[in-house]
Amino acid sequence: MRPHTLVGMSPAPRQSVLLLLDPGSGVTHLADPGDPVLTADDRSAHRGDGIFETVLVDAAGVHNRRRHLERFIRSAEALELPRPDPAIWESAFDEAVQAHRRAFPEAAEFSVRYALSRGPDAALAPRGWFLTAPAPAEYARQRTEGIAIGSLDRGTPAYVGKDAPWLLQGAKTLSYAVNLAAGRWAAQHGYDDALFFSHDGANSIALEFPTANLVIARGRTLLTPDPGAGLLHGTTQQGLFAAAEAAGWTTAYADLRREDILGADAAWTTSSLRRALPLASLDGEELARDAELEREVFAFVHPDLAPDT
């Protein structure tokens, strides 16, 4: 009987390559993305006990490579997983990118999702893998049209992670069932995405989307929620802020209320694959859009030369 699988769970993404990594020795081998490669007792498969990163690669290169690897290492620390050896993960990453480019030379833009599992119950021998995939098609349309978002109560107060580190806020773990449930809620209510707010009654602040961050503009000042409030510190948001600062803009982490979003000159959702998508409405209320700000922010997250930062 074939073992249960997570990686390679059918239907396998088309135009993907799968590279398996032994994170201890650095030994890699390419596998068929449709092949069963994890046993049913793997902690990542039945507990979500592991970490991952999703990285954008395009003709310009690898985006926010260093920021992804640093966050991956921080996530490993938070879960008390063995520290990923940067040399091993960098080398395997390059191998996966090269394998994808060899297999699909026409691919302009693709993602590399890399993950580390604690391993099977019996041995707890960590396992790593890299799965590539084409970038989702719908983001190009949403970049022009903007997206409609609905607000959701996250159920926990802001900054609760300080006293409750076991919530693993800020770590990019493989436990995404809650994030996916929020995405389904959004779709069922006619929204393109859901924005989590903290459970603080009248003092509630915006946190993040299930798989993306919030950035708003007041003129040429960009604001985003403080990661310490209980959200993932986005590599795209960090890259955007660095590019904006270099161009003379002001940036800041801030507690943002609902009124701040409604009163912003423009607002975006940012993530590695989305880069920056403008927000068109919040709970049915139209949000301001500004073509010039959008054009400039678009340029910040679409650098000609991907910074290896």
- Residue 277 sits in the site that holds ligand PLP (CB under 6 A): no
Question: What is the side-by-side order of every strand in the sheet holding 28-31?
Answer: 28-31, 18-21, 127-134, 109-117, 50-58, 61-62
Q: Select the span of 39-47, 103-111, 229-237, 297-305 touching ligand PLP (CB under 6 A).
A: 229-237
- Residue 75 sits in the site that holds ligand PLP (CB under 6 A): no
Interface residue with ligand PLP, options 118, 234, 244, 261 (CB under 6 A): 234
d(CA 71, CA 51): 10
Least distance between ligand PLP and beta carbon 90 (Å): 17
- Residue 111 sits in the site that holds ligand PLP (CB under 6 A): no
Tokens matching residue 99: 């394998």
- Residue 213 sits in the site that holds ligand PLP (CB under 6 A): yes
Reduced to 3 states (helix: H, G, I; strand: E, B; else coil), residue 43 is helix
Interface residue with ligand PLP, options 111, 152, 271, 306 (CB under 6 A): 271
d(CA 130, CA 9): 14
- Residue 198 sits in the site that holds ligand PLP (CB under 6 A): no
Least distance between ligand PLP and beta carbon 213 (Å): 5
Q: Select the span of 135-143, 162-170, 181-189, 231-239 touching ligand PLP (CB under 6 A).
A: 231-239
d(CA 93, CA 87): 10
Q: Select the span of 94-102, 130-138, 157-165, 227-235 touching ligand PLP (CB under 6 A).
A: 227-235
Which residues, including other chains, have CB under 8 Å from residue 135's CB and lie 6 or more apart?
56, 109, 110, 111, 273
Q: Pairing between strand 250-253 and 221-224?
A: parallel
The residue ranges that bind ligand PLP (CB under 6 A) are 54, 179, 208, 211-213, 232, 234-237, 270-272
